[in-house]
Amino acid sequence: MNIEWQSQVRSVGRLAALGDSGLVDLAREDEFDRLLELAIEVTGAPRGCITFVNAERTTAFSAFGFPEGLDLHAPIEQSFCRFVVGTGRPFIVEDAHHDDRTIGDPAIAAFGAVAWIGYPIEDADGCILGTFCLMDAAPRRWNRTDVMAVATLARAASTAVALRRMS
């Protein structure tokens, strides 16, 4: 199954909103790190990140569980984040090796993203800037609590983005 993502990811309006947010090239911020740490604690997922997505790459603004020194800037084609930003909907995968949407996807090898759950991070106008996502290198069934936690913390990250813009 091919998921169309390019037109929305590369839309001029979304990219302008991302640029206006001032978030793309900033250093990590404690507020986002705490949200991600809570998601990892609640779900037991070994890795996670908060990413912002431009036309060509994803940038991890906050990340936990990755090897030291790993470049957390990835070509957009090597990240499941493109599906969240491109469709405006959550993207949940229990086993990327056997999911029709992700079989053979470069994100599996690049980040060991076999199980993945991601929700949109939006600005105050509802423009999707990136994702709040967790992943596991092994197949995993994301339970109701996992899904609710990630959805809620993604909304909290969206609120933090909106408040940051207001100050």
Predicted pLDDT at 148: 97
Tell which residue, 109, 112, 50, 123, has the closest CA to residue 81.
Answer: 50
pTM over 0.75: yes
Q: Give pLDDT, residue 27.
A: 60
SS3 label, residue 164: helix
Q: What is the pLDDT at residue 55?
A: 86
Q: How far is the first Cα of the chain from the last one, in angstroms, to the nearest whole number?
A: 43
pLDDT (tens digit, 9 = 90+) per residue, 83-122?
A: 999 999 999 999 999 999 999 888 888 878 899 999 999 9
- Residue 3 backbone class (left: φ over 0; alpha: ψ -120 to 50; beta: rest): beta
CA distance 28 to 89: 25
CA triple 124-126-132, angle to 5 deg:
90
Q: Residue 153: phi, psi to the nearest 5? A: -70, -30
Strand order in the sheet with 128-136: 73-75, 57-64, 47-53, 128-136, 115-122, 91-93
Adjacent-strand bridge partners of 121: 130
What pLDDT was estimated at residue 25? 63
In angstroms, the CA 131 to CA 27 distance is 17
pLDDT at 70: 66
CATH architecture of 6-166: 2-Layer Sandwich (3.30)
Per-residue pLDDT of 32-71, as tens digits, reads 899 999 999 999 999 999 998 888 888 888 888 877 766 6
Chain segment 114-166, per-residue pLDDT in tens? 999 999 999 999 999 999 999 999 999 999 999 999 999 999 999 988 887 66
pLDDT for 31 equals: 84
What residue ranges do the domains of the chain occupy? 6-166
Helical spans, DSSP H, in 63-126: 81-87, 106-111
pLDDT of res. 141 = 97
Q: What is the Cα–Cα distance from 116 to 12, expressed in whole angstroms?
A: 28
